[in-house]
Structure 1
Amino acid sequence: MAKFGDLMVEARERPFEGWDYSLDGRIVTQEPWDFGGLVDALAAASPDLLDMGTGGGEWLSRRRLPKRSVATEGWLPNIPVAQARLSPLGVEVIAVEGAPENVVQDRGAPGGDLPFPDGSFHLVISRHESYLSREVLRVLAPGGRFATQQVASTIARDFHRVLGQMAPSISRMWDLDFAVRQIVAAGFTIEDKAQGTEVMRFADVGALAWYLKNLPFIIPDFSIDRAAVKLEQLHHATGEDGIEVRQPVFRFTALAKS
């Protein structure tokens, strides 16, 4: 078993690029369904596809791609990473200003507009990415589909439990009910929906620390130094068994007006 100090050095120094957080297989995620397979089935019947928030293009590069496939990304350092991965596959990658979180869009924050004409796509995908429902509807052709998978607002609850912390209260919940109300209000019809639990397995405490350091939206005030005592306790308590964290996820497929 690796030494705790060595794991923390790696967690601090190892870079994070694109949107691949598997850490050479030390972080494994198990979804309650096969969202990739669902998207592949939809893509097989569609002449085009838009992937919103593609990250470094890791997930999209493994999908079945229609002849015309386009990806957007809101974090500029990811653009060259995604282009290097997706351009050889014929996918155009376009930089955009990402949408504000769906639960606060009524506060008027900017972002989320899509640089495409009306009716540009027959299939739009958003995997763990915020979106403006009206913009998704606008760029979809009549009868087009929007498929999304999201993580609910309680994403951090089990991480707080593992770290022995109290999870903060949530004033407005991002969950399947909220998302369905929002997308239906924009003019969509729900075709399919589901909610479940995603299981993440961290091979060691170093992988957990690296993950939380690089994804600050989960626990915004997380610090390896401040959490060092608890992390070392976890290291000795879990050993080679690793650490398991559960997250609430949901998905739906919605149909644009014909």
Structure 2
Amino acid sequence: MTEFDRLLAEAARKPLVGWDLSCDGRIATTAVPWDFERAVVHRARQSPDLLDMGTGGGEWLGRLPLRPARTVATEGWAPNVAVARERLAPLGIEVVAVEGALDNGAQHDGDAHDDAPLPFADGEFHLVVNRHESFVPAEVARVLARGGHFLTQQVASDFNADHYRLAGLAPAEPPPEWQLDIARRQLERAGFEILRAEAGAELLRFADVGAFAWYLKNVPYVCPDFTIEGTRDALAQLHRRQQAGEAIAVRQTLFWIEALR
């Protein structure tokens, strides 16, 4: 078996557990221009509670250096709920299974027409955090107390152009547009005041073609048409280029917002 075949075979059988996308350290992410964690910790120092929307396997929340006494997480993907509960329960964090919200780009300015209400009382939280999870702005506003803060970091709708290019695939029909200006408009329509907002990009570097194939296999919303066998020729070319010294890297566009209820 060649090194290329070994890498692809490993990518095909290696599972994703929780939401750890590092592939055992073979995928590295450069920092975006802002420090989202620092902004969250700053607000957490002043808040009696925190709701983390879309916690994944609880990896990020579990590592957060400071959390309010009452911290709650939601998760919409059933396999991750059990993983998150196992990780976060020893920290005193409740994980609530929820129905995922409609993609924000398809929400028509964030109207609360989605059938995924948050299972919390009006004004129950003073700080709501959301990393890369869709949300209904009116629902976030409902569960936030007056004067509460909403911090979200989102992946823009055009984030996956480099992934398609490296996989040798033609981009699928573009998803509904989701950019900083649209997010601002949705939140303002729901009654939020925007305190800070910024767009930027991060770079994902893959140590080898196997890590790249593993990532696309396990994060299917990036390239829905991707299969390892169906892109084998493109992956082989990518492997040869990487062996010759060319880095395997993709640029992903993101943005973040801090909003006041």
TM-score by length of 2: 0.94
Q: Could you say which residue in structure 1 is the equivalent of 2:43?
A: 42
User: Deviations along 1:31-54, whole A, 9 cap, x unmatched?
Assistant: 312211211111111110000000
Q: Could you say which residue in structure 2 is the equivalent of 1:62?
A: 63
Provide the aligned length of Structure 1 versus Structure 2: 255
Structure 2 residue aligned with 1:73, among 72, 75, 99?
Answer: 75
Please state whether the residue corresponding to 2:205 is helix, strand or coil: strand
Residues 134-153 of structure 1 mapped to structure 2, 5 A cutoff: 134-153=138-157
- Between 1:120-129 and 1:39-48, the stretch displaced more is 39-48
Q: Could you say which residue in structure 2 is the equivalent of 1:85?
A: 87
Q: Which amino acid counterpart does residue 27 of structure 1 have in structure 2? A: I
Q: Is the 8 A contact 1:112 1:131 kept in 2?
A: no
State whether structure 2 residue 206 is matched by structure 1 residue 205: no
User: Deviations along 1:157-177, whole A, 9 cap, x unmatched?
Assistant: 111122234434536310000
State whether structure 2 residue 3 is matched by structure 1 residue 3: yes
Structure 2 residue aligned with 1:195, among 177, 184, 199?
Answer: 199
The 3 A distance-change label for structure 1 pair 62 and 171 is closer
User: Deviations along 1:237-256, whole A, 9 cap, x unmatched?
Assistant: 11265411101000000000
**Identity level (%):** 52
Structure 2 residue aligned with 1:250, among 226, 231, 255?
Answer: 255
TM-score by length of 1: 0.95
Unaligned runs of 5+ in 2: none
Residues 99-138 of structure 1 mapped to structure 2, 5 A cutoff: 99-106=101-108, 110-138=114-142
Please state whether the residue corresponding to 1:153 is helix, strand or coil: coil
User: Deviations along 1:6-26, whole A, 9 cap, x unmatched?
Assistant: 000011000111100101110
Q: Is the 8 A contact 1:27 1:203 kept in 2?
A: yes
Unaligned runs of 5+ in 1: none
Give the alignment's Cα RMSD to 1 decimal.
1.6
